[in-house]
């Protein structure tokens, strides 16, 4: 199995804190108050950041202490590798980022029952495709995943907000540079709007460059008495309802890897090559709101954001003087569902001698595959990436606590993100008890809301859709519940696109049920279109601004 070479890891520009507001505009930093009594030692470790850069961003440096048993160092968002200055982690039952290594290997999941895997007809064909994947380079580097974990730890402590967004399922047919660019651009616009409201950095993660495999409730789909294997994502089979299209084809895994690679290449170029420039990104397209009552309100907020950027420019903070005005961190995430594929991209990081899932920076486990004894939990336990777990209204506190403990036995900050997906009403009823259970157990998690999967409805004309107003209500309920509980609403996880699709109804642009047939392009679940996504960001920004004023966000709580 190929190992990441130390030079390739060290040679990467180290990801630093996301789009940063400069010192005079940003909040004052606050040290994170960890729940366990930490032993904090100096952060005098190796860092590849130049002194100049470190100085420029020091306002965002927050110390995050690790449990005493784990580390003798302090990590900061800008110094992820400070994690590895400790030399006394014993016989490594736990990785430095919190993975549980006892009796674990990238293939130990094979001894457990793996749900939601395709049934390939030909084992040789499957093995040949997996060998091809194993011989390809990793898509991401371990150092980047560690940087993300440090930023997520910062968010869990109340000092950042996290924005996940992208397709429900990426597709081969819809893959275009323009599509990647448009989704990326809307995510950046949303993050500026959110940063303005919340007054904290926004960590950006795309459901992109690997989000192909889909869990399905039935193995077979039956139409007019004919049953065929369900469509499981373009990396497995094709959505047309014919026996040939629905046959799981292992070569699709290789094609999905290649598409992920091209997508990631573009995302890296956009993030570092000038496309992420604040001046450029804030060229808002608000035409959709013109002549509408709500539009005026959003336009005013956009004008205030522009004024803040112009003010910074007047202070001499512009694209020439400040790299953070033109570059940004952008991370990738997907559901690690197809375990054969994930295993083959799980690589040993030679800096730390620990395994990372190198198919994306962040991997999550879906609602349907998180059985404690199942294969997916076994895989997730030992990879050193930051990981997410989807939870629903049916989850009970004790089992969520137990899952978090299994995946993060030393309670390392930033390792676990709990992504709730309940629907607005159910969230108000069930999220408080789950927060209470996690708090009572003293567990360090990042709370994120997925307001999509609990709000799907089927229309009379046969479309799966999501009313924008229900999505909005779940996000607002999430904020309100956390404010009541005194915990941090750490982020939002959206299915969205930069394209002008008609998949979710409502919003200021008023997509009607009749409009759904116009541009219904998703290969799986309905996505917010560009204007609905931006509108949601404006609404969240206003809400977060109010919470910030009340002291409910932006500080360690």
Supply 43's token pair.
């952060």
User: How many residues are there in the chain?
Assistant: 557
CA distance 217 to 515: 27
| Least distance to ligand PEP, CB of residue 392, Å | 7
The closest of 158, 254, 147 to 205, measured between CA atoms, is: 147
| Least distance to Co ion, CB of residue 475, Å | 16
| Least distance to Co ion, CB of residue 509, Å | 22
Q: Rule CB under 5 A: is residue 450 a binding residue for Co ion? A: no
The closest of 240, 252, 176 to 212, measured between CA atoms, is: 252
Residue number closest to ligand PEP, CB atom: 366
CA distance 408 to 149: 13
Q: Rule CB under 6 A: is residue 165 a binding residue for ligand PEP? A: no
Q: What are residue 122's DSSP bridge partners?
A: none
Among 298, 525, 528, 537, binds Co ion (CB under 5 A): 525
Q: Rule CB under 5 A: is residue 471 a binding residue for Co ion? A: no
Q: Rule CB under 6 A: is residue 453 a binding residue for ligand PEP? A: yes
Q: Rule CB under 6 A: is residue 366 a binding residue for ligand PEP? A: yes
Among 62, 232, 390, 415, binds ligand PEP (CB under 6 A): 390
Interacting residues with ligand PEP between 44 and 83 (CB under 6 A)? none
Helical axes 397-407 vs 375-382, angle rounded to 10°: 50
CB-count exposure of residue 381 (10 Å: 0-12, 13-18, 19+): buried
Counting other chains too, the contacts that 229-237 makes at CB distance below 8 Å and 24 or more residues apart are: 229/118, 229/119, 231/523, 232/116, 232/118, 233/169, 233/337, 233/523, 233/524, 234/169, 234/170, 234/171, 234/172, 234/173, 234/523, 235/338, 235/341, 236/118, 236/212, 236/338, 237/118
Q: Rule CB under 6 A: is residue 168 a binding residue for ligand PEP? A: yes
Interacting residues with Co ion between 153 and 182 (CB under 5 A)? 168
Contact flags string 303-342 toward ligand PEP, x per CB under 6 A: --------------------------------x-------
CA distance 242 to 69: 56
Backbone angles phi, psi at 278, to 5 degrees: -60, -40
Interacting residues with ligand PEP between 421 and 450 (CB under 6 A)? 421
| Least distance to ligand PEP, CB of residue 454, Å | 8
| Least distance to ligand PEP, CB of residue 355, Å | 24
For ligand PEP, which stretch binds (CB under 6 A), given 100-108, 128-136, 361-369, 479-487? 361-369
Q: Which is nearer to ligand PEP, 427 or 553 (CB)?
A: 427
Q: Which is nearer to ligand PEP, 148 or 448 (CB)?
A: 448
Give the CA distances from residue 71 to residues 89, 351, 381, in Å, rounded to whole numbers and listed in that order.
Answer: 7, 16, 19
| Least distance to ligand PEP, CB of residue 104, Å | 23
| Least distance to ligand PEP, CB of residue 334, Å | 9
Q: Rule CB under 5 A: is residue 528 a binding residue for Co ion? A: no
Q: Which residues bind ligand PEP (CB under 6 A)?
A: 168, 215, 335, 366-368, 390, 421, 453
């Amino acid at each position: 199995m190929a190992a990441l070479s130390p030079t390739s890891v060290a040679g990467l520009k180290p990801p630093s804190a996301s789009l940063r507001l400069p010192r005079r505009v940003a909040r004052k930093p606050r040290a994170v108050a960890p729940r366990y009594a930490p032993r904090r030692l100096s952060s005098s470790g190796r860092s590849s950041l130049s002194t100049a850069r470190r100085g420029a961003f020091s306002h965002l440096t927050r110390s995050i202490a690790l449990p005493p048993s784990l580390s003798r160092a302090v990590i900061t968002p800008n110094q992820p590798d400070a994690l590895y200055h400790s030399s006394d982690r014993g016989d490594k039952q736990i990785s430095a980022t919190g993975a549980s290594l006892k009796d674990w290997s990238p293939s130990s999941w094979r001894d457990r029952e793996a749900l939601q895997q395709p049934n390939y007809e030909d084992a040789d064909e499957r093995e040949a495709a997996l060998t091809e994947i194993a011989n390809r380079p990793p898509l991401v580097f371990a150092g980047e995943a560690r940087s993300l974990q440090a930023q997520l730890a910062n968010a869990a402590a109340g000092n950042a907000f996290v924005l996940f967004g992208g397709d429900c399922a990426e597709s081969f047919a819809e893959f275009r540079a323009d599509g990647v660019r448009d989704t990326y651009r809307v995510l950046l616009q949303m993050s500026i709007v959110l940063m303005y409201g919340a007054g904290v950095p926004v960590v950006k993660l795309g459901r992109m460059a690997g989000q192909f495999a889909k869990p399905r409730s039935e193995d077979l789909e039956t139409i007019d008495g004919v049953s065929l294997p369900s469509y499981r994502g373009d990396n497995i089979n094709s959505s047309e309802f014919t026996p040939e299209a629905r046959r799981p084809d292992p070569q699709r895994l290789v094609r999905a890897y290649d598409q992920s690679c091209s997508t990631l290449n573009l995302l890296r170029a956009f993030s570092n090559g000038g496309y992420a420039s604040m001046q450029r990104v804030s060229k808002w397209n608000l035409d959709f709101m013109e002549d509408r009552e709500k539009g005026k309100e959003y336009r005013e907020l956009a004008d205030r954001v522009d004024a803040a950027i112009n003010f910074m420019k007047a202070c001499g903070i512009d694209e020439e003087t400040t790299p953070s005005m033109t570059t940004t961190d952008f991370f990738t995430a997907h559901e690690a569902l197809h375990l054969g594929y994930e295993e083959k991209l799980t690589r040993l990081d030679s800096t730390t001698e620990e395994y990372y899932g190198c198919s994306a920076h962040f991997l999550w486990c879906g609602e349907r595959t998180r059985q404690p004894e199942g294969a997916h939990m076994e895989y997730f336990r030992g990879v050193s990436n930051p990981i997410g777990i989807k939870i629903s209204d049916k989850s009970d506190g004790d089992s969520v606590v137990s899952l978090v403990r299994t995946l993060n036995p030393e309670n390392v900050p930033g390792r676990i993100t709990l992504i709730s997906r309940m629907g607005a009403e159910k969230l108000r009823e069930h999220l408080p008890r789950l927060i209470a259970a996690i708090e009572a157990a003293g567990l360090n998690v990042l709370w994120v809301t997925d307001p999509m999967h609990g709000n799907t409805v089927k229309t009379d004309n046969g479309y799966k859709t999501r009313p924008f107003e229900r999505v909005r209500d779940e996000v607002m309920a999430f904020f309100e519940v956390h404010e009541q509980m005194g915990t941090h609403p750490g982020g939002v996880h959206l299915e969205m696109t930069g394209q002008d699709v008609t998949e979710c109804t409502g919003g200021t642009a008023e997509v009607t049920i009749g409009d759904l047939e116009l541009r219904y392009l998703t290969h799986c679940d309905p996505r917010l279109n560009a204007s609905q996504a931006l509108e949601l960001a404006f609404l969240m920004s206003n809400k977060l601004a109010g919470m910030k004023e009340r002291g409910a966000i932006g500080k360690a709580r």
